[in-house]
Amino acid sequence: FTVTSGLEGAWTPTPTKWDNMYLETLFSHEWEVVDSPAGAKQWQPREVKDGFMVPPVAPGAPETLPTMSTADMAMIADPAYLEISKRFRENPDQLADAFGRAWFKLLHRDMGPAIRYVGPQVPGEELVWQDNVPAHEGTLVGDAEIAELKSLILESGLSVAELVRTAWASAATYRRTDFRGGANGARIRLEPQSSWDVNIQAGVGPVIAKLAEIQSDFNAREGARVSLADLIVLGGSAALESAASEAGHTISVPFTPGRTDADQASTDVESFSYLEPKADGFRNYVAKQGPVPTEHLLIDKAFMLNLSAPEMTALVGGLRVVGGNVGGNGHGVFTDRPGQLTTDFFTNLLDMSVKWSAIGEGEDVFEGRDRATGDVQWTATRVDLLFGSNSQLRAISEEFGAAGGDELFLNAFVSGWVTVMENDRFDLD
């Protein structure tokens, strides 16, 4: 069977034409509530004026009265809608333009920036909701400049943890479902992102300020120019290479320059506010515990960031030990050498001499005690323990934590990191 609204009728006498008869019909009549043939409440004119009867739907059928829903009545009854409706009635060209823009936005809202559009009908006008970034000006930095910038960043006094947290905070806003967010544009320094709780707790403001100083000094010279967006990502990459080196490993985190910096005028504050993370398992951050378990939110986040299971696993374990947690909490930091990119998270998580139990009734935070002494060794969240409790993720964790698993871990970590940093690099496609 079919379930419908029960509303029956046409709004205008010209239902197959683009014109202004909808508003003319609304404003030209006094309306009353009637029952539709199906028994629903709808509105019809008390007395139909000439030229407003709806034509027959088939040869031999009668003309019918124009019909409106209660939502239609709001267009002339609600003061805010009434003002807009009057303007559109008197200026049909404005209605046509507004409708065209709204229709275009509806169909293209999940396509990302205009750089992703193809075809001869792509409009030349850029719109704020597209989250566009400006074109790069000047010469891109090359290998020599990149190496110099890495040194400047590492010698700036910023810690590995600060650089990693800032790069992640900038890039991890990306959503594969509508191609919004990401590091390109460096919108992390703009509203609303600069005021987000997660970014304040992560301490990204002072880091961005220091990176902006490096950018200003570098760009004051003649030659190649670097954006703040590129510096934020490069800072994270340099920090990770340093953290791996401290652990006795040599890695190279691929970096492709070319990001640019957006401004506040090209940033829709209201629409960007919906990208604010309520939870980020990669940083052990939860704004407020809700009905959805945090480990489920982690999987959703990994999906949004285009990560595979090994990449997700490596990133969580690696970010824990290099200081990626927000707010300085020590949950999941299963290492006695923080700041080094190691597999300690996995070896200690899977240590059978540690017994885990929940702290409190919420079962959101756990403590791991030595089975022999009863001493607390570590604390963890549901997200951390997921990698020991889920059979598939535990298998990956065992590979990373096993003797000789360093290379597998580092390869997956770097692959995942670069994926997150370049998710919004549509110019590279």
State the number of CA atoms in the 13 A half-sphere of 182 facing the CB: 30
What token pair was written down for 409?
């871990």
| 58-79 exposure pattern, b = at least 16 Cβ within 10 A, e = fewer | eeeeeebbbbbbeebbebbeee
Handedness of CA 189, 282, 406, 367 (dihedral sign): positive
What token pair was written down for 36?
């539709």
Cα–Cα–Cα angle for 360, 366, 369, rounded to 5 degrees: 115
Domains in the chain, please, with CATH?
Answer: 21-108 (1.10.420.10), 143-273 (1.10.520.10), 278-415 (1.10.420.10)
Alpha helices (runs of H) in 30-78, residue ranges in sequence order: 70-77
Indicate the pTM of the whole model.
0.93
Contact 324/283 with Cβ under 8 angstroms? yes
pLDDT digit string (tens) for the chain, length 429 residues: 678 899 999 999 999 999 999 999 999 999 999 999 999 999 999 999 999 999 999 999 999 999 999 999 999 999 999 999 999 999 999 999 999 999 999 999 999 999 999 999 999 999 999 999 999 999 999 999 999 999 999 999 999 999 999 999 999 999 999 999 999 999 999 999 999 999 999 999 999 999 999 999 999 999 999 999 999 999 999 999 999 999 999 999 999 999 999 999 999 999 999 999 999 999 999 999 889 999 999 999 999 999 999 999 999 999 999 999 998 899 999 999 999 999 999 999 999 999 999 998 888 999 999 999 999 999 999 999 999 999 999 999 999 999 999 999 999 999 999 999 999 999 998
Whole-angstrom distance, CA of residue 176 vs CA of residue 29 = 48
**Residue from 121, 251, 114, 265 nearest 187 by CA:** 265
Q: At 380, is the secondary structure helix, strand, or coil?
A: strand
Q: What is the pLDDT of residue 1?
A: 65
Q: What is the pLDDT of residue 70?
A: 97
**Residue from 161, 413, 422 nearest 312 by CA:** 413
**Phi-psi category of 15—alpha, beta or left, where left has phi over 0 and alpha has psi -120 to 50?**
alpha
Residue type, 216: S
Residues 6+ apart with CB under 8 A from 226: 141, 145, 149, 215, 218, 219, 234, 257
